[in-house]
Structure 1
Amino acid sequence: MKRLSVLAVVSLMLLGQSCTQHTNNRNSEKMNDTVKTEYYTFELSDKVTREKVTFKNRYGITLSGDLYIPKNHGNEPLAALAISGPFGAVKEQSSGLYANQMAERGFIALAFDPSYTGESGGEPRNIASSDINTEDFSAAVDFLGIQKNIDRNKIGIIGICGFGGFALNATAIDKRVKAVATTSMYDIPRASSKGYYDKVSLEERTKTLEQMSQQRWKDAETGTLAYGNCPNPDTLKGDEPQFVKDYFNYYKTKRGFHTRSINSNAAWTLTNGFSLMNMPILSYIKEISPRPILLIAGENAHSRYFSEDIYKIASEPKELMIIPNAVHVDLYDKVDIIPFSKLETFFKDNLK
């Protein structure tokens, strides 16, 4: 892919700089007959209960989550997992599916919407932050650790896609987290600043930052933030990169569509990259050690290099698991491909 096309794709999917102000309701109307507000993209296991919960992060933002609890678990406190992602998704999608699967395997699992997205609080809507999205995981650990049916010394994290990077960052700083796993991991600040495979030049980065800086004047004048288009198009022309087609086939179809998902039906602000592009998150990755890291990526995933790069620089104990023939979004919802048995073993071995 040429450098400029890489930059354009990254801007569209992560930042939105090249988009015009627009509120996209076409898919909401189109899929209204099949997708309701409380719709989940997966079936709740008959071995698991699900309850809505709320908790606050240290910025005072109220986060919304679904707590998945295994039925007939006895009286002993259980190990617990905090789960979020992908970037731009909501808890009714992949993170809820993961929580459902892990609860079947004996963990209490909390799938939550990050700050400013989904059912979680925070104004304005649909913005991301290197700091706050890292903090969201620690807030989830706060919540889990004060539940009577949870052993607070047995808490781990799963981060999916862009929240894989934030999960690693949270684990590095929050020593209460005993183990961390990521699937289809993205380093969102790195991708936002440097593009895929770090192909974006200083000149291109500067141009993007200049556009966002000027947009701040416009937002200040109107008193509201401008938004771009949905990160994923309503239709495909056919000449898009394969990973864009893969995103479409998840977020824009019945397979993964949700009305509250930014990637399905909403948009980031035009200045969303202001925090992401200037605040790297994985500078202290070595400080996760001696706690274990499990990195899972698809063999054919466009994002595979993020996991491989983290594996190279992280300290032991660490493991990189490559799923044969899988692409990035296969690890969002394909339960026959996602290695849940491996995740079960990893956390049972390390949350002791």
Structure 2
Amino acid sequence: MYLKEITILNYLGETMELKNNNSTNVDVNGLTFELSENVSIQKIMFKNKFGVEVAGHLYLSKDLDTSKKYPAIVIGTPYGGVKEQGAGIYAQNMAQRGFVALAFDESYNGESKGEPRHISSPDLFVEDFSAAVDFIGTRDFVDREKIGAIGICGSGGFSITATQVDPRIKAVATASMYDISGMFREGFGKTLTDEQRAEMMVQMAKQRWVDFENGSPLVPEGFPRTPADSIPEGLDPVSSEFFEYYAMKRGFHINAGASFTATSGMSFMNFPLMNYIETISPRPILFIIGENAHSRYYSEDAYERAAEPKELYIVPNARHIDLYDGGDNNYIPFDKLEEFFKKYLK
């Protein structure tokens, strides 16, 4: 039976029917890319172990035969991004290549539930990967022994950390990976001094009193709520790059302000990610980085610490954000990702 009428059950006890190849409950105009005519997309909801309802987009090839079982990929967003952006582009392309693909929003962000909004928490964001595996591995047309994960930017670190303790993830790939715990504790390029780190913790601790007295946490202003026409003068190169993606037409989405509660950094300073990366072996890791990415040292450091099998794949001329959407030069190496997952999810 082809994709004519599938009932997808989620942890909320709800049902969602895909009555034909073209039916969808997703506003495709809200995607930052053009939906392929070769895939179908459905919005799904599932709960993580903390009880938070996580929102995802499930991508399926229109040639999918539900009497068979397929390998699957769960895909996290860039840090501060949403499933309608880069994660969706990866999911769509992997679905076209024969995988069941699920792009999801982190808890408390995007269309996922959770109050207060815009919390960033390493334990939650790592758990969301395992919760996505819970969901996708219970689909009748998925081979639960063939599930992989892709993490983009910050979710690269979360995907690896989840893989450390969740052996159901048989292979993991990252693109433009960020170690968010390292970013908070060490600063960009490991430039944060002990004194600066101590002052950051003092300021965040004081902010907790303010948040408690106000009854809600402070969320610093993020990117503009409407697409900007140009990059403001005076931004440093890294900020300019993120502004180009999140705040301009290239990647703008109303749910992706890329701003989290002011005290979120406390959790990351106390929760180092990827501490046990070597224990993922003998499951494989693929690190994809841009040649000109400001973030490449995160992947290079992780690659050195990881055990075999591992691979570091460098995309010529690409910057950090060029692996979010491919840019004008189609930088994302989807052929490499297909080769990697077909080799190890066999």
In the superposition, the TM-score normalised over structure 2's length comes to 0.88
Give me the whole-angstrom Cα distance separating, in 2, the residues matched to 1:323 and 1:173.
Answer: 29
Partner of 1:158: 150
**Cross-structure match for 2:340:** 346
1:118 to 1:37, Cα distance in 2 relative to 1, 3 A: farther
1:297 to 289, 292, 299: 289
| 1:254 to 2:246 alignment | no
How high is the sequence identity, in percent, across the aligned residues?
51
Report the equivalent of 1:13.
none
2:38 maps to which residue? 47
**C-alpha distance in structure 2 between counterparts of 1:257 and 1:94, whole Å:** 11
1:238 deviates by 2.9
Gaps of 5+ in 1: 1-35
* Preserved CA contact (<8 Å) 1:231 1:262: yes
Distance 1:123 1:98 in 2: 28
Separation of aligned partners in 1, 2:28 and 2:93 = 22
Cα deviation, residue 236, structure 1 = 3.9
Once the two structures are superposed, residues 83-115 of structure 1 have per-residue CA deviations (whole angstroms, 9 ceiling, x without a partner) of 011000000000011100100101000000000
Q: Residue 283 of structure 1 is aligned with which of 264, 275, 290?
A: 275
3-state SS in 2 of match to 1:287: helix
Cα deviations by residue, 1:282-333 (Å, 9 ceiling, x for unpaired): 1100011000000000010000000000110100000000111110000000
Q: Give me the CA root mean square deviation.
A: 1.5
Secondary structure, counterpart of 2:169 in structure 1: coil
Change (3 A) 1:89 1:280: same
Query: Aligned to 1:169, which of 161, 173, 197?
Result: 161
Match status 1:147 vs 2:139: yes
Q: CA offsets per residue over residues 6-49 of structure 1, 9 Å max, x none?
A: xxxxxxxxxxxxxxxxxxxxxxxxxxxxxx99510011111110
Q: 2:292–2:319: 8 Å Cα contact kept in structure 1?
A: yes
Structure having greater relative contact order (Cα 8 Å, sep ≥ 6): 1
Shift of 1:249: 1.1
Which of residues 126, 132, 147 in structure 2 aligns to 1:134? 126
Q: Distance in 1 between matches of 2:290 and 2:28?
A: 31
Q: What's the CA shift string for 1:325-344, capped at 9, x where partnerless?
A: 11000000016210000000
Count of aligned residue pairs for this structure pair: 314
SS in 2 for 1:178: strand
Kindly indicate which of the two structures has a greater share of residues assigned to helix: 1
Which residue of 2 is the match for residue 203 of structure 1? 195
Q: AA paired with 1:161? A: C
What does residue 221 of structure 2 align with? Answer: 229
State the one-letter code of the partner of 1:175. P
In structure 1, what is the equivalent of residue 317 of structure 2?
325
**One-letter amino acid matched to 1:244:** S
